[in-house]
A and B are shown apart, each in its own frame.
Chain A
Amino acid sequence: MTKEIAGSETHSKKNDEEHVRARQSGGMPDFEKIENSSSFRELMSRKKRFLIPTTILFLGLYLLFNIVISYTTWLNATFIGDITWVWVFAFGLFAMTWILVTVYMRRAAKFDEMAKATLKEFDYDEEEPK
């Protein structure tokens, strides 16, 4: 695929259609087969293993923080000088966000590879994005 294209969308559309036609003689790909393949199931289980605990963790910490500051004065205790724990916890939520985003970016690169491999297994190749 070397020819210049106006929009990536029309391009991949053509590409997809070609692939699908070439493979299925006009029919739809068998998504259930892909869904039940071991490679796709592995991808999903890895995704879930990462996403479910981290989502529970960050939403939990966030809600905990709001509940604690709404109902108690625990975090008004001093941390250093006149900085109280409430500011430390708040900044901790900022740090948590940045850390989880960074960790996810790394994990997602792995998910991408697995997704690509799954697609390849079923004869579907996304062209390299230009």
Chain B
Amino acid sequence: MNVTVIAIFVFIVGITLVITYFAAKRTNSASDFYTAGGGLTGWQNGLAIAGDYLSAASFLGIAGAIALFGFDGFLFSIGYLVAYLVVLFIVAEPLRNLGKYTLADMINARFNAKKVRGAAALSSITIVIFYMIAQLVGAGALIQLLFGIDYIWAVLLVGIMMTIYVLFGGMTATSWVQIIKAVLLMIGTVILSFLVLKNFNFNILEMFTQMKTATPHGEAYLSPGVKYKIPLDTISLMLALVLGTAGLPHILMRFFTVKDAKTARSSVMWATWIVGIFYVMTIFLGFGAAAFVGSDLITATNPAGNMAAPLLAQALGGDVLMSFISAVAFATILAVVAGLVLTGASAFAHDIYGQIIKKGQATEHQQMLAARYASLGVSAFSILLAIFAQSLNVAFLVSLAFCIAASANLPVIIYTIFWKRFNTTGAVSAILTGLISALVLVSLSPSVMSPEAGAAIFVGDPIFPLTNPALFSVPLGFIGGWVGTMLSKERDLKKYSEVNVRANTGGFRQL
């Protein structure tokens, strides 16, 4: 702990609290709380999407994975980016045209059935909780390393900060924390990339030549197959990454913070450029860490490689840059978990309390109270889980969240928009089939059961061979939706005409 670290750290905490203070004054209705009143512009929302999306797993995890495994670490970057085409082409605009605050709103624009809303809220909550545990456990371990604070205090610190943002400042504060974080992250990554390239004499060819001998893997470092050796497993994981983003509730929620589909579209464009440029730079971060820090030191500091980027900053820019990158990592975690709390709260307070229990008749005051209680509840529950999960290997939970999003949410979204015959039974069975099959297959997979003690949660031989079940659970979600639809005679073609017109024209939004 030195003065620079503390100064940068206090600065980030201070500025986010000032934002929260001003945001709190402007948060007077449920619409302000969940969607910042729908008043973000395209570039603002695009930066916020990037801020929501580029989690610690992206920044520290991918840089570390590339440093340790070369090309295989970069696979995540590819999947995470191409996913935005699915978001843009299929989901973003209909979602904005049909929904109000949540994914469940959009599906209910067509069905208006409690059980559909309940199922959609359930899958959103499951995804948010898994994602959150992974983020908080990672955050605790990181802050412990960076600032020398005890794990429990580190988790509590992050937890209390995220609660303050959401509780008082709602979506306005959360969005601006995400925007600032995205800008800081890009600045930090550009500085690091520049220093790495400078050390390679700005010669990409030379960089690759040097990387052939820089790591224990030798030439294999630059080719696929160092980490992911089982073909079906790789394909399954990559499928989860590319299809999952379009079903992640905290990303979907970001499309309600703009005024119309056109702005939602330009948000995705901004996000795609920012996220894409960032992921290109992960190559420089990873290569630089492998070449100038060395895999021995990286794994000695953190076996998963999460400290590669901060160590690289230390090696190339000394303590000041290291402090800055650590602070950026901290801001990264804060922005992501705040978005998750808000999303979890919206599923509880808006979907379950406001729409299912109160049937949409809750007063503005009741809605605000519910939103704030739900934020507190989601925060407290996640902090507790994260404290208990300290010694568990939870890194796989991020991929699992993507897998559930792809299996439980994407099929129902696609059917709702495109399939005339689709009905409520189909919607419920699509969500539940995708959700349950993803959960069951993961609990039988090597991520949860491993013959090696300590490698996973339980000791034992995995029954299901793939670490990520997307290859099976995504088709199951689609099949479940189809079977459920066919089993029920119910159909409402008139309603589909309405949804079809509204989704594609953006008109009649408030009927």
Q: Chain B residues with Cβ under 8 A from A32's Cβ?
A: 494, 497
Interface centre among A9, A17, A51, A55 (most CB of B within 10 A): A9
Q: Chain A residues with Cβ under 8 A from B273's Cβ?
A: 98, 101
Q: Are B501 and A34 in contact (CB under 8 A)?
A: yes
Residue of A nearest to B279 (CB): A94
**In the bound complex, how far is the Cα of B84 from the Cα of A113, in angstroms?**
24
Residue of A nearest to B243 (CB): A59
**In the bound complex, how far is the Cα of B268 from the Cα of A106, in angstroms?**
14
Q: Which residues from 33 to 86 on chain A have a C-beta closer than 8 Å to any C-beta of chain B?
A: 34-35, 40, 43-44, 47, 51, 54-55, 58-59, 62-63, 65-67, 69-71, 73, 75-76, 80-84, 86
Q: Are A86 and B497 in contact (CB under 8 A)?
A: no
| A55-B90, A98-B272, A108-B265 known; A31 vs B235 contact (CB < 8 Å) | no
Q: Which residues from 3 to 60 on chain B have a C-beta closer than 8 Å to any C-beta of chain A?
A: 29, 31-32, 37-39
- Determine whether B202 belongs to the interface, using a CB cutoff of 8 Å to chain A: no
**In the bound complex, how far is the Cα of B90 from the Cα of A93, in angstroms?**
19
- Contact flags (1/0) for A84-99 with B, using CB distance below 8 Å? 1011001101101110
Q: Are A9 and B505 in contact (CB under 8 A)?
A: no
Q: Chain B residues with Cβ under 8 A from A10's Cβ?
A: 31
Q: Which residues from 5 to 45 on chain A have a C-beta closer than 8 Å to any C-beta of chain B?
A: 6-10, 12-13, 16-17, 20, 28-29, 31-32, 34-35, 40, 43-44
Q: Are A31 and B209 in contact (CB under 8 A)?
A: no
Q: B388 → chain A, closest Cβ, in Å?
A: 36
Q: Chain B residues with Cβ under 8 A from A8's Cβ?
A: 37-39, 259
Q: Which residues from 103 to 129 on chain A have a C-beta closer than 8 Å to any C-beta of chain B?
A: 104-105, 108, 112, 115-116, 118-119, 124, 126, 129
| A7-B32, A9-B31, A101-B268 known; A44 vs B224 contact (CB < 8 Å) | no
**In the bound complex, how far is the Cα of B494 from the Cα of A115, in angstroms?**
20
Residue of A nearest to B204 (CB): A83
**In the bound complex, how far is the Cα of B504 from the Cα of A13, in angstroms?**
18
**In the bound complex, how far is the Cα of B510 from the Cα of A69, in angstroms?**
48
Residue of A nearest to B203 (CB): A81
Interface centre among A10, A44, A76 (most CB of B within 10 A): A76
Q: Are A97 and B509 in contact (CB under 8 A)?
A: no
Q: A42 → chain B, closest Cβ, in Å?
A: 12
**In the bound complex, how far is the Cα of B496 from the Cα of A45, in angstroms?**
17
Residue of B nearest to A104 (CB): B88
Number of A residues, CB within 8 Å of B: 64
| A12-B510, A62-B242, A115-B507 known; A70 vs B224 contact (CB < 8 Å) | yes
- Contact flags (1/0) for B216-250 with A, using CB distance below 8 Å? 00000011110010011011001100100000000
Which one of A54, A55, A115 lies within 8 Å of B505 (CB-CB)?
A: A115
| A44-B504, A97-B82, A108-B265 known; A86 vs B223 contact (CB < 8 Å) | yes
Q: Chain B residues with Cβ under 8 A from A73's Cβ?
A: 223
**In the bound complex, how far is the Cα of B231 from the Cα of A124, in angstroms?**
53
Q: Is the interface of A mostly helix, strand, loop or mixed?
A: helix
Q: Are B508 and A51 in contact (CB under 8 A)?
A: no
Residue of B nearest to A108 (CB): B265
| A20-B508, A66-B238 known; A98 vs B494 contact (CB < 8 Å) | no
Number of B residues, CB within 8 Å of A: 62
- Determine whether B130 belongs to the interface, using a CB cutoff of 8 Å to chain A: no
Q: Chain A residues with Cβ under 8 A from B238's Cβ?
A: 62-63, 66
Q: B509 → chain A, closest Cβ, in Å?
A: 6
- Determine whether B421 belongs to the interface, using a CB cutoff of 8 Å to chain A: no
- Determine whether B114 belongs to the interface, using a CB cutoff of 8 Å to chain A: no
- Contact flags (1/0) for B167-187 with A, using CB distance below 8 Å? 000000000000000000000
Q: Are B276 and A97 in contact (CB under 8 A)?
A: yes
**In the bound complex, how far is the Cα of B86 from the Cα of A40, in angstroms?**
23
Q: Are B208 and A105 in contact (CB under 8 A)?
A: no
Q: Are B504 and A43 in contact (CB under 8 A)?
A: yes
Q: A85 → chain B, closest Cβ, in Å?
A: 10
Q: B265 → chain A, closest Cβ, in Å?
A: 6
Residue of A nearest to B211 (CB): A82
Residue of B nearest to A118 (CB): B505
Q: Are B85 and A58 in contact (CB under 8 A)?
A: yes
Q: Are B276 and A94 in contact (CB under 8 A)?
A: yes
- Contact flags (1/0) for B51-91 with A, using CB distance below 8 Å? 00000000000000000000100100011011011101110
Q: Are B242 and A59 in contact (CB under 8 A)?
A: yes
- Determine whether B296 belongs to the interface, using a CB cutoff of 8 Å to chain A: no
- Determine whether B315 belongs to the interface, using a CB cutoff of 8 Å to chain A: no
Q: A16 → chain B, closest Cβ, in Å?
A: 4
Which one of A81, A83, A100, A129 lies within 8 Å of B260 (CB-CB)?
A: A129
| A7-B31, A86-B223, A115-B504 known; A58 vs B82 contact (CB < 8 Å) | yes
Q: Which residues from 104 to 155 on chain B have a C-beta closer than 8 Å to any C-beta of chain A?
A: none
Q: Are A35 and B497 in contact (CB under 8 A)?
A: yes
Residue of B nearest to A55 (CB): B89
Q: Chain B residues with Cβ under 8 A from A59's Cβ?
A: 86, 242
| A7-B29, A31-B501, A129-B259 known; A115 vs B506 contact (CB < 8 Å) | yes
Q: Are B508 and A29 in contact (CB under 8 A)?
A: yes
**In the bound complex, how far is the Cα of B235 from the Cα of A97, in angstroms?**
19
Q: Are A124 and B508 in contact (CB under 8 A)?
A: yes
**In the bound complex, how far is the Cα of B22 from the Cα of A16, in angstroms?**
32
Q: Are B265 and A105 in contact (CB under 8 A)?
A: yes
**In the bound complex, how far is the Cα of B78 from the Cα of A29, in angstroms?**
44
* Chain A to chain B contacts (Cβ below 8 Å), 20 pairs: A7-B37, A9-B37, A12-B510, A16-B509, A40-B505, A55-B85, A58-B85, A62-B78, A65-B78, A66-B238, A67-B231, A82-B222, A93-B78, A93-B82, A98-B273, A101-B88, A101-B273, A105-B269, A112-B262, A124-B507
Other than the given A82-B222, A98-B276, A108-B93, 8 more pairs (CB < 8 A) read: A28-B511, A62-B78, A81-B208, A84-B222, A86-B222, A86-B223, A105-B269, A118-B505
